[in-house]
Amino acid sequence: MVAKEKKKDGPVMETVKTVFYALLIAGAIRTLIFQPFWIPTSSMKSTLFIGDFLFVNKFAYGFSYASCPSMFGVDFCGFAKGSETRLMGSEPERGDVVVFKHPTLGSDYIKRLIGLPGDRIKMVEGLLYINGAAVAITPNEPFTEIKAPQGPQRGQPRCTNNPAPGGLCEKESFTEVLPNGVSYSILNIQDSGADNMAEITVPENTFFFMGDNRDNSIDSRYPQTGPQGGGVGFVPRENLIGRADRIIFSSAGSSLFSFWTWRSDRYFKAIE
């Protein structure tokens, strides 16, 4: 008896299968290990610039519904929303730079973790207080950049001085040191309403986040307002996606793919 030769797939089917498996592997990596993230705004200057491209470490805090990528407007893990338990979860640390889902909008945000559950947080004339103690700050040389359009939105940076287009834009810079010893630079542009905030207590299973560019960040200092959202407010534990550890590369142009605009000093730069 002669064995029948197995019929081979045609070139079209082979291509379809290759694309399918590639998407399956990429989806598994994006869901379980790393998620790419491109910085779209200036809220984390001078730690992160518009155009920084990084991968988010999803192992850092374990997995929740927020770990699943949303595509075509579909939240594939929405059925798990509402659980306070994270699979293989570990606790975030104060000072981590974290990507999370906005509690009402569902969009991805990146900010610095300032307040843990049970912490008392307030702001007095721009100075941060945690559990009744002022956080130590020391002044730095001013942060400078060229006043020119930035990123795909082509927005102009805000400055403490008033330079002409193409001139040197300055911002006040300070080093802030959290109670656990984590230090980083923060920027100040002007006196604003968010420089003063009455003391609040971070509820159980939530976190309090702030941007390093304090006068250009919508964060937990601003409450959520209605279904469309306003500020960030307190962020539930389940909304954490992962920790941002290292910049892969950075584009100073209007597109991520404009390689001739990539910043030579930001390749594989650690995020502090």
Provide the residue ranges of all domains of the chain, joining segments of one domain with +: 61-242
Which one from 42, 43, 217, 250 is the annotated catalytic residue? 43
Percentage of the chain beyond pLDDT 70 is 81
Tell me, yes or no, if the pTM score tops 0.85: no
46 is catalytic: no
Question: Averaged over 78-103, what is the pLDDT?
Answer: 82
pLDDT reading at 8 higher than 80: no
**Helix runs in 62-122, H state only:** none
pLDDT reading at 22 higher than 50: no
pLDDT reading at 114 higher than 60: yes
Q: Where are the beta strands (DSSP E) in the chain?
A: 34-38, 52-57, 70-71, 74-75, 97-101, 108-115, 120-124, 127-130, 133-134, 136-139, 143-146, 168-177, 183-188, 197-201, 206-210, 235-236, 240-250, 269-270
Question: Averaged over 61-78, what is the pLDDT?
Answer: 68
43 is catalytic: yes
For residues 176 and 56, give the distance between their C-alpha atoms in angstroms, rounded to a whole number: 24
pLDDT reading at 80 higher than 60: yes
Question: Averaged over 134-143, what is the pLDDT?
Answer: 96
Tell me, what's the pLDDT at 77?
A: 66
More confident residue, 72 or 180: 180
14-28, 164-178, 241-255: range with highest mean pLDDT: 164-178
CATH topology of domain 61-242: Umud Fragment, subunit A (2.10.109)
Question: Averaged over 168-194, what is the pLDDT?
Answer: 93
Tell me, what's the pLDDT at 187?
A: 96
Tell me, what's the pLDDT at 193?
A: 81
Which one from 45, 58, 111, 171 is the annotated catalytic residue? 111
